[in-house]
Amino acid sequence: MNRMIDSKSVYPYSIDEAKRCGEIKDYSKSHQLNTACTKAIEKAIKANFDGFHLNCETAKSVIDEYGYDRPMWVLANTLQYLKGDGRFSKANSKWAETIYIPHTKIGNYDSSYGFIVNSHPAVLDGFVSQTLKEYKSLGLYSSDYCIVDSNSQDYTGKILVLRPYILKDEYKNSNNQLILAQHGFGCSPTAIGRKVFGVYLLDGEKCQFNRLNFIGILKDEHITEWAKEKIANLNIPEESIENSLNMS
């Protein structure tokens, strides 16, 4: 089962990181799609705004074409660029600030300039709200479910939460976000290596991710009974499980 991102997914790293990892084609392709998605958002808003109201299905039409992640990436970039514009709601502006958009400057040109939506901010704000409502309906884990500053902790034996963009849209649910970390240099916050090896908690399938692919460690109060049962059924030595689970 391949739950992970494919060539159509957002490339979330900088062009420098892409060059270092030999992924410049992925970066370029993603950048082109960002631009196309930006134009699609502008077109959808123009076609669905009657001068007073934005059709409630406007955002969904773009999500159906580009998936969840790319429209959100473009919108977060746009709101960051227009930071301080009072026509955006505080909630939407706050959300945009939680998304890290890497910038690459060539002279005075910033790579993110190519995907800034130029629709009227007040109408665009409605589109952002629609998009976030669609995304929220997926019921995904966010940083609110993770231990504060868990990125500075050792991940060995912990239940980790994958960043949603790592998963294809058809696998975007909270169950598929949970990974039991087992070993790898990436488990350490100070190691040079970044690979974390573990298993999907849902079905025990082996997997490996970059440490940066995780939001953090799932808080104990959000570890459900099914998750505890899965850990027990995986037959993992109890001493390797560092989450404070009640396994008795």
Q: Supply the pTM of this predicted model.
A: 0.81
What tens digit of pLDDT does each residue of 90-134 get? 999 999 998 888 887 777 777 788 899 999 999 999 999 999 999
Domain count, the chain: 2
- For residue 166, the enclosing domain spans 143-240
In a domain, 66, yes or no: yes
190 DSSP 8-state letter: S
Whether 60 and 149 share a structural domain: no
Residue 238 has pLDDT above 60, yes or no: no
Whether 131 and 149 share a structural domain: no
Percent of the chain surpassing pLDDT 70: 92
In a domain, 247, yes or no: no
**Are the beta carbons of 182 and 157 closer than 8 angstroms?**
yes
DSSP 94-157: HHHHTS-----EETTEEGGGGG---S-HHHHHHHHHHHHHHHHTT----GGGB-TTGGGS--TT
**Are the beta carbons of 196 and 211 closer than 8 angstroms?**
yes
Please report how many Cα atoms fall inside a 13 Å half-sphere around the Cα of residue 7, on the Cβ side.
Answer: 4
Q: What are phi and psi of 154, to 5 degrees?
A: -75, 135
**Are the beta carbons of 13 and 100 closer than 8 angstroms?**
no
Among candidate residues 93, 120, 136, the one where a domain is terminated: 136
Q: How far is CA 169 from CA 6, 10, 66, 103, 153, in A?
A: 10, 12, 10, 25, 29
